[in-house]
Each structure stands twice: as structure tokens, then as C-alpha cells.
Chain A
Amino acid sequence: MPTHNRTIVYKTIAIVSLLCLIWSIIVSKLFLIQVIDSKQYQARCKRQTNYKKPIQANRGLIYDRNGNSLTMDIVKYSFAAHPYLISDKDKMAASLHNDFKKPLSFYKNKLNSDNTFEWLAKDIPESEILSGVNKYKKHSGIAVFKNIRRNYPFTKSCGQLIGFTNIDNVGISGLELEYDSILSGEPGWTMIQKDGLGQFHRRPDMPYKEEIQGNNITLNIDTDFQEILYEELKNSFEKHNADKALGIVINPQNGEILAMASAPAFDPNNPGKYPISDQKNRPITDTFEPGSTFKIVTATAALEENMIQPEDSIDCSKGYIRVGGRNIHDHKKYGKLSFTEVIKNSSNVGTIKVAQKIRKGFVFQYARKFGFGVKSDISFPGETSGILHPLNKWTDLTLSQVSIGHGVSCSVLQLAYAYAAIANGGYLLKPQLVKSISTYDNIVISNSGREVIRRIASQKTMNKMRELLRLTVQSGTGRKAKINGMSIAGKTGTAQKIIDGKYSKTDYIATFAGFFPAKNPRLLCVVMVDNPKNKVHTGGSVAAPVVSNIFKRIYNSSNYIIFQDEEDKLTKNEVKSEDWDDEEKLKKLSLSSVGYASSRPKVFSSNDKIIMPDLKNLSLSKAYGILSRLGFKEIITEGEGIVVSQYPAKKIKTDNETKCILKCKARGNLFD
């Protein structure tokens, strides 16, 4: 080999060695980056590429005892603009004006704003967007936000009871607040990969935490009863020009609350439009002086302690009694009355005389036993305990006042359960609002049933009490609660309101507590009308007819098993033929739930195609129940009362993904 060739080889080897050195430096550097410092780079990678995306848990629903959902989650849209990205501002403003109804100038100002972000409209249901959501979704510079919002199909009738949630789906009032932790579930998250442009990619190997869906709550409430109660309260409230009207319907045997409402009510879909006072569930939160309805305490104490018998006579001839320097009057001079007649006629003088006979200790003790002055521990926000002064502060005047229901206060709920104790033979029951709690896939977590707090008095005493109350309706102050063919028991109460610390001569509270059938009561209703401003103001003439109407309507509408008892069994025809002989009235009634019991609309369904039933003239709860049983997921209701129009129209073929709209109208007073 020539020398030149040899130097070429040596020099090449030298260069190759140099390059191999660089190569090994690169390998060492790679080892440093990929093995030794790897953790640090992996952390930096995670920081810039991972995004923890929260997953909303579905809020549980609240059902009535028949499985009608009282809450519904529907999709609503919010719209915002990035004004600098919108080119056709005038056209867009016109379109917004057309869809969202605010003046054209409002949208023009928004779209010409210098801000980078402007809200245009919030929480609009899809059905109200005439030109469609997609038009806005596709438009550059318009941001569309999809939100799940709570919707309350029974609007006013259940509003106070159910309450409502805020925009974050957190319960604000009513059951939504009380059971928030049970309904809300637990949100989850998924880790999502972000790319260099900020776009997201899901990868199956990324960590995640599954959301826990909220639990469903089933109430003892029956929406049929609830609607009847609310309508009757509203009618009474309007008719008597009252401040408010409260009512509750319970099953006195097991303590289930079947309906609970008050007027004026509020629409939980739009709570901001109503005063706070209308948002309270007044039967639980508000107190009032029970007046004569409280006389059952004295009567029960006297009978149970054997201090008096129903036939014992009491002198009420003076028409007033002087206690502690004050005269307490009766309605009129009754003369000599038997104890039965004292209760029947609601004589203050007679009751006070009995109370004085049994002394304050027993009156106080029985008031406590009946549950007055303490909370019932019903799970509901803002329950009141009422006022029952401690015994050591009682004077003779206090005794007299308390015995006739003054100087004490209670809630409608407390009064109802006190009467329930008479109805069920002496047991004070715990109010049962929630029937059961189950998971989203219908596994029952907790069930509730009859819970006895204490026994107040013997069966014998309570039988006597029931008889007294039955006679009160039969021929006493509660006559207006009477329904022919039904044995109703009850007691009226007319309390003067305390205005500025004095009993008012003009403002009254009219109360009626009643149950039926009298011998084996299945239904108990308390109605309180606060400050009826028309001529009539007594419990007998204001509240008793309301209870009577409620009983009539429930009885006629109900397929509820409470009336299966043999001894009190009455055919519905009996009631109708005796009481509602008027053809016109009957026709009118058939518009209400009354007609429903006999003519349940036939529901056709083949495969997933549904033929829309005719819902017109049905009560909202009936119509709603039919639709939800057909599987419709989105039912929008407007107003309350009976259905006047429906979408989709009857006999139209549709499927259950369609949004249904029910427009309702108040029924007005059926019994005038």
C-alpha cells in the first residue's frame, strides 16, 4: 500500500474516532435526560398536557307516592358573545332580538361593546329558541353554554314543599335544601390530554374518578291531593281576601303527610319574582294561635283524668267568665250545657270552667303530650316549635287563655298531628314526609314507616273525643264541614290575631281541623285561613267548607286504598246522588280529577312509537303522571289546574324523546 493511502487510513481513523467521541457524548447526554432526569421531565410533561375535567353528578329526583316526578332536569342554554369576532353585527342583533325578545338596541349595544365577553341571554330552554341552537353554536364569536337546570312541573302547588336550587344546582329551600346532600351525589373527574393548541383528547389509559349519582327521594305526598289542597286553599284565600291560607292533609293512622300547601304560593321555576314570605312552607314554618281547636287539650285531659264525663253539665248561663281581672266572653249566652255541648258549641266559658277544675298542671302536661311547644323533628328546614310557656310562668289567666287556645301558638303541622292522635286512638305520631330514599338505579337505601312518639291517652278517652268532634260537625260549629253520607269529625277555631300586643277585634284566624270517616279515620285535614277580611271570619264558616271540599274531592278522585274499610264503605254514587244532584255542577266536577277515576284515558304504545293520549281537561298531576309513565323525559308545564292544551296534540304519533308542553288553567271554585 502506498504511503499516501496509508495516511488516508490513519487520518480517517482519527476523524472517525473524533466523531465516535461526539457520538458517545450524545449517548451520555441522552442517558442523563431519559433515565436520570426523566422524572423531572415527566412531571413537566404532565403539567402542560393534563387537564382534570370535572364530571357533574346527576341530581336525584323527588317523586310523589305514585311515582310522579316532582322535579325534572332539563337542558337550558345560555348565550354570550365575543363582540370582536362577530362580523355581521346588525344581522345577529336582529336574530337575537327575534329569539330572546329583548329590545333590538340592547343586543346592538352588547355586540358593539368593547368588552371581550358579553352575556346575551341566560337559561333559555331549547323550545323557546325559534331559530335553533345550532345556528348560534356554529356562528363564530357566539358562545353557547349548555346547562342542566332543575324544572318543577307542579310549579306553585308543590313549590313551597319542594323548594328550588340555585344555578349551581345546590338546594336553596324546601326539600331541595333539606336533602341536598342526598340528592346531589358526588361529582367525579377525568384526566384529559391537552395538545399544543389547547384542544382536548380523551385517552382510555388516563386516570378518572367516577361520579356518584344523587339519590332519589320518594315522598308520601300524593300530587292529586296536593293539587286539590292547593286549589282549595287558593280559592278560599281569594274568596275571603285573606292574608294567607294554609293546609295539610295527612293519614292519621300512620302519620304520612299526603299533601301540604299554602297560598299565596310561588313558582320555583322563577323564585326571584316572588317575595320570600311566599317561598316558606308555611304549614311547617309559621305559627298561629290555634284558638278553639286547642280545646281538645283541655277536653282530653279532663276525660282521661276522669274529671268529667261527656254528659256532665256545666253552667254557662252568664255568657262570660271573669278571670284575672278580665272578662272572657262566649259567642252567646248558652245557659246550662253538657260537656259534649260545650265542645260542640265551642263555649269558652264552659271550657275554662273545666280547665279550672282540672288545674294548670294537667292542661300543661297534656298540651306537651299533644306535641305543642316542641318540634316534631320532621326533616324540613325552618320548622317552628310554637310557643307553650313553661308551667312556672302560668297564672290563672294563662290557664284560662291556653285552655281556649290563646297565649299559645303552634304550626298547622303540630295541630294536625294532635288531632291525628285523637283520630288514631291516642298515639302522637312522627310526621312522615319522606317515604323512601333510593339510589339512581332504584336500590332502596332507607324506608320509613309509622313512628309513635308517645301515647297521649287511652283508646276509651279518644273514642269519646272522636264522638265529641263528630257531633261538632254533625250539629255544632263545624256544620259547614259536613258532607252527606260521610261521617266527618272536626273542630273549628276562631282566634283573634294579636296586633301590637293586643287582641284585635277585626283580624281573625279561622281554623278547622277535621278527619273522616269519624269511626275509623283515614284522612285528616287542617286548614287555617289567616285574616279573612270579608264579613264571615269564623273557622266554621271560612275554614270548615274548605276542608269539606277537600274531603269531597279527594274521596271522589281517589283510587287510594284508604277507603277500603268495611264499616265506612260508601259507594261513590251515594255521595254523588245525595250531594251533587245538580247536573251542571257534576259536569263541572268531571273537568277536575273527579272524572278521572272512572275514565282513565287509554294509552296506546307500540314499539317506541307512542300515540299521544288526550290530556285535555285532566288535572295536571293526572296528565303528568300519564306522560311520565309513557316515558317522556322532558315535560314542560305552564300554569296549574287543568290541562287546556297539549303538545304534541292528541293521537299524534311520537316518541318519548319529544318535549311535551302542557298548558294549564286554574279551575276556579268548583263548589260555589
Chain B
Amino acid sequence: MINRFNKNIDTKYFYLTMILMGIGFIIQYSASSALGAAKFKDPGFYMKGHLIRIIIGACCGSLFLFFDHQKLKKIAPMLILTSIILLIITLIYNKIFNRYPAARWLPLFVMNFQTAEFAKLALIIYLAAFIDKRQKKVGNLTETFLPAATVISAIVVLVVIEPDFSFGAVIALISITVMWIGGIKFTHLISFVLSFILFSSLIILSSPYKRERVATFFSNGGDVQNAGYQITQSLITLGNGGFWGRGLGGSIEKNLFLPDPHTDFVFSVTGEEFGFIGAFALLVLFLLIFLRGIQISLKSHDVFTKLLGVGISISIFLNVLFNIGVVCNIFPVTGLPLPFLSYGGSAMIYNFACVGIILNISKKSNLSTKGIF
């Protein structure tokens, strides 16, 4: 059906993401109903909001689906400049109005927009475009590495001081990955990573709230009353589901025991209602989408497209791994949303934009249509 309008679009990637989105919608409704009922006397409150965000995200995604990704290369510097300006505006705006404890959002139409999401996409596009442009001198320190590192550092620092440490770390991680794949010298990256680690340890030590988070992680959820409470509840939620789960709507823990059942811990509710079998299936779905995205990207014809596709595929998958890693207590609490399942507009727009770009890339990739891979 979709092929009638978009010749050669990769239907597998399209349908996999649509299935994920549909599952996400159902789980979101189930997970958020008790919270919505308690906070707004409306079990469907978050479900409705999620639907609006899906629609906005889908519009955004279609924009990228029809927008030739090659043109992104040309507007990349403009995008990166815009994102830096937006991040600065975000900081200033929130300083003035002092609306949230963290200066992460700008009001945009019906929702608050997290400018770092835009910056993340802009940075991936910019890095892909930049490395593509400097293909011949990719190993050069001054002409390739330093300009790229400067841009990355500027954005990461602006995100970290919001403060949003986890988001900054994810941006840095994706950037370094894209640069390494793009051919930037290992030694350059190592020194960059080392200085980044130094920088982040300073940040962690300077803020008691982050020290606590890390300490919580190492104390293995023993401190139920405070920060470890979230993780303890998350594990109880998952474990309560058992192998087969309690069935859709059968979650007990979502009744306000589990904090943020609709955002960061939506996967716990999934695990409780659909059991290990459901959680595993969801993980497989994420993996398939990731691998298909990588495959589409690698089958493209130029360096820019490859790096762009690989970069955004990894960025989505990293969020999946970090979110679920936190939920099952492999990583410390980061506050990263689960793509397509968590409630939140900015991430939804970002994810749809990425899907749009990948699908646009798939139009020109020489993919075989038989089998998933």
C-alpha cells in the first residue's frame, strides 16, 4: 500500500515500526491508566496525550520520508547552528521563567519540546555530512577531528549544564561512535573520550544528586525508601509478571507503586503484564528494527547516508538498551525514555523523524526484498 506512493520504500522496516508503535500505544494505555485516574480522574488521560504525540510525530516523520536525505547534507551547518541557538535559548528561557528544576524544555504549540532531541539529530546529520566532506583528510587532527570535537563538545556541554547528564552522555557516545565508524583516528578519539570522562567525573562529584544515583546503583537497590525505591519497584514489577505475565491490564504494580509507569518504567509494566515471553518479544522487535535500519544504511551508496543511517539507528537502539538496562538494574537510573512506548512528545518526534529518514534512505538502497535480511 505504502509502495504505491513511495516507490521502493522498505516495507519491512515500515511495518515493524508500525507494529512497535501499535504495541506501544496499547501498553501506554494500560500502564498509565491508574496514574491518569489518580492524577486527573481520567484513566485515558495519558492515552489521549500519547495519541496526539503519535500524530504530531507521524506528521514530522512523513516530512522526512518525503524530504530527500541528500539535501540534509546541505542544510547540516544550518541545523547545527539552529540547535546551538535553541539550546542557549532553552537555558535562558528557563533561567528567566524558572519553570522546571531542569532547563530542558521550550514550550512549543501544545507541548513542551526538549531541544536536546533536536540537537541530537542535528549533530548526527552534521557529523555525517562533515566526515563525508572531509573523506580525503579524515585522519587529520586539525582539519577534521578538532572542528568536529568542538561542535560535539559545545552541544554536549550545553545539554549537560541544563542539567541533563544522561542525555549529554548519550549524544557524546553516538558522536564518538559515528566518528570512529567514519574513520577518525582511534588515538584522537581516545584522548577525546578520556577528557570526556574527566569532565563527567567532575560533574558527578560536583552534584550530590548524581552521586546518590551512582551510589544507589552500586548498593543494589537496598535503599528502598529513597532513590533505590524506583529500582526495587521496577524489579518487583518485572518479577511479578513471571514467565507468562498477568495479562493485559493485569499489572498490580502500576497502581502507583511503580514510579513513572508511563515513561521511564513502561517496560516494567510490559514485563508484568506480558511476562518474560512478552518482554523478550518486544526486545526482539527492537533488535529487528535496529538491524534492518543498519542493513538499509549499509546498502546505501555514499558515506554520508551510511553514517547518517547507522548513527540514527544506533541512537534509537542505545535508548532501548539504556532504558531497559536501567529497568532491570544493569545500569544506574538515567531517565532515558523507551522509544515509541514511553510517554513524551520530543522523543516521539525524534523517533518518527529517524524512521522517516531511514525509510527515505531505503528508497535508494539496493536491498533485496526477500527475507528480513
Identify the A interface with B (CB < 8 A). Answer: 4-5, 7-9, 11-12, 15-16, 19-20, 22-23, 25-27, 29-31, 33-35, 37-38, 40-42, 44-45, 48-49, 193, 195-197, 201
Contacts and interface: CB of A to CB of B under 8 A. Distances in A.
Interface stretch (B51-59, B76-84, B286-294, B349-357): B286-294
Contacts, number: 124
Nearest to A198: B256
Contacts of B257: 48-49, 195-196
A5 B239 contact: no
A49 B255 contact: yes
B124 to A, nearest CB: 14
A7 B181 CA distance: 7
Contacts of A35: 242-243, 276
A11 B239 contact: no
Contacts of A19: 290, 314, 317-318, 321
B69 interface: no
Given A31-B276, A197-B256, A23 B329 contact: no
Interface in B299-336: 303, 306-307, 310, 314, 317-318, 321, 324-325, 328-330
13 contacts: A8-B307, A11-B180, A20-B287, A30-B238, A30-B271, A35-B242, A35-B276, A38-B240, A42-B239, A49-B257, A195-B38, A196-B256, A197-B256
Give 3 nearest A-B pairs by CB, closest first.
A41-B239, A196-B256, A195-B255
A12 B299 CA distance: 12
Contacts of A16: 290-291, 294
B280 interface: yes
Contact of A8 (B181, B255, B258): B181
Interface in B22-73: 34, 38
B159 to A, nearest CB: 22
Contacts of B339: none
Nearest to A29: B328
Task: Label chain A's interface by main secondary structure.
Answer: helix
A501 to B, nearest CB: 74
Given A38-B243, A195-B256, A197-B38, A33 B328 contact: yes
A38 B314 contact: no
Nearest to B278: A34
Given A11-B180, A44-B236, A196-B255, A34 B307 contact: no
A197 B38 CA distance: 9
Nearest to B321: A22
Contact of B294 (A12, A25, A40): A12
B141 to A, nearest CB: 18
B238 A12 contact: no
Interface in B265-291: 271, 275-276, 279-280, 283, 287, 290-291
Contact of A30 (B181, B279, B310, B318): B279
B39 to A, nearest CB: 11
A10 to B, nearest CB: 9
Most central of B239, B280, B303 by chain A CB within 10 Å: B239
Task: Label chain B's interface by main secondary structure.
Answer: helix
Given A35-B242, A40-B239, 15 more contacts: A8-B183, A8-B303, A15-B314, A16-B290, A16-B291, A19-B321, A25-B330, A26-B330, A30-B328, A34-B241, A45-B237, A49-B253, A193-B252, A195-B38, A196-B257
Contact of A34 (B177, B276, B294, B298): B276
B227 interface: no
B21 interface: no
A50 to B, nearest CB: 9
Given A38-B239, A41-B240, A30 B253 contact: no
Contacts of A12: 181, 294, 297-298, 306, 310
Contacts of B287: 20, 23
B170 interface: no
Given A11-B180, A19-B317, A26-B330, A45 B240 contact: yes
A659 B237 CA distance: 50
Given A12-B310, A195-B255, A34 B183 contact: no
A38 B182 CA distance: 44
Contacts of A45: 236-237, 239-240, 252-253
B321 A41 contact: no
B38 to A, nearest CB: 7
A42 B240 contact: yes
Contacts of A38: 239-243
Most central of B38, B255, B290, B325 by chain A CB within 10 Å: B255
A23 B239 contact: no
B135 interface: yes
B235 interface: yes
A34 B177 CA distance: 33
B243 A41 contact: no
Contacts of A26: 283, 321, 324-325, 328, 330
A600 to B, nearest CB: 57
Contacts of B298: 8-9, 12
Contacts of A48: 236, 257
Nearest to B238: A33
A15 B181 contact: yes
A44 B298 CA distance: 47
A219 B301 CA distance: 100
B243 A34 contact: yes
A8 B279 CA distance: 32
A201 B279 CA distance: 27
Given A15-B314, A41-B235, A27 B181 contact: no
Nearest to B284: A27
Contact of A29 (B177, B183, B329): B329
Contacts of B38: 195, 197
Given A22-B325, A197-B38, A15 B330 contact: no
Given A26-B330, A34-B276, A196-B256, A15 B177 contact: yes
B194 to A, nearest CB: 19
A34 B243 CA distance: 6
Given A33-B328, A45-B252, A4 B240 contact: no
A34 B271 contact: yes
A196 to B, nearest CB: 3
Nearest to B280: A27
Contacts of B329: 29
A653 to B, nearest CB: 40
Contacts of A34: 238-239, 241-243, 271, 275-276, 279
B255 A33 contact: no
Interface in B219-240: 235-240
Contacts of A20: 287
Nearest to B271: A34
Contacts of B243: 34-35, 38
Given A41-B235, A49-B257, A4 B303 contact: yes
